Amino acid sequence: MTTSFSFKVLVTATLLGAAGLVLAHGNVTPQEVDTGNLPELGDEVLIENPFREGNSHGDVNAQAVEVGESAYAGNCAGCHGIRAMSGGLTPDLRELTEWDDEYFINRVRNGTDRGMPSWKKTLDQNAMWAIKAYVESLPKPE
Ligand code: HEC
């Protein structure tokens, strides 16, 4: 009898723990991103930010930054902080350099099992690279 009782307690505690974790992550309902007039990048995933000045679509950098700002606010700021000021609980995305493009796109597409959601079903790469362009436009952390 005692065994069965403590088993129930254990299960309940585990479920509560899981619920707590979900709540701690805040609202993660993905928000649709209107990528406006940004050039279509297609399905093949690029490994370098096309919207960075000097790159293939660098001429639309300003527009990408604008799209990225609202995409970031709606989908990433809840965990990574307003204007990417993370406060230390999640990685500070402003620390990523242009050499981290491939790492960035893979993380955003696939997520990790340590709290980073996968976005490949909800955001296309236009939105992802626009977010990167936005983060790059922000002042670097001190
Ligand atoms: C539910 C919370 C949450 C949301 C929403 C979220 N992230 Fe994350 N993100 C994390 C966590 C936690 C990590 C660290 C994961 C790890 O270490 O495995 C992370 C890691 C990352 C990394 C790797 C950074 C590094 O320095 O290692 C990138 C890039 C990233 N997120 C981008 C984004 C973008 C872009 C968005 C919005 C589209 C986003 N994240 C939304 C929680 C979140």
Contact criterion met (CB below 8 Å) for 73 and 83: no
pLDDT at 10 over 50: no
Ligand 1 centroid to Cα of residue 55, in Å, is 25
Angle, alpha carbons 11-27-65 (nearest 5°): 145
Instruction: Answer whether 104 contacts ligand 1 (Cβ < 6 A).
Output: yes
Contact criterion met (CB below 8 Å) for 132 and 77: no
Q: How confident is residue 16, by pLDDT bands cut at 50, 70 and 90?
A: very low
pLDDT digits (tens, 9 = 90+) for 86-140: 989 999 999 999 999 999 999 999 999 999 999 999 999 999 999 999 999 999 9
pLDDT digits (tens, 9 = 90+) for 30-88: 888 999 999 999 999 999 999 999 999 999 999 999 999 999 999 999 999 999 999 89
Ligand 1 centroid to Cα of residue 78, in Å, is 10
pLDDT at 9 over 60: no
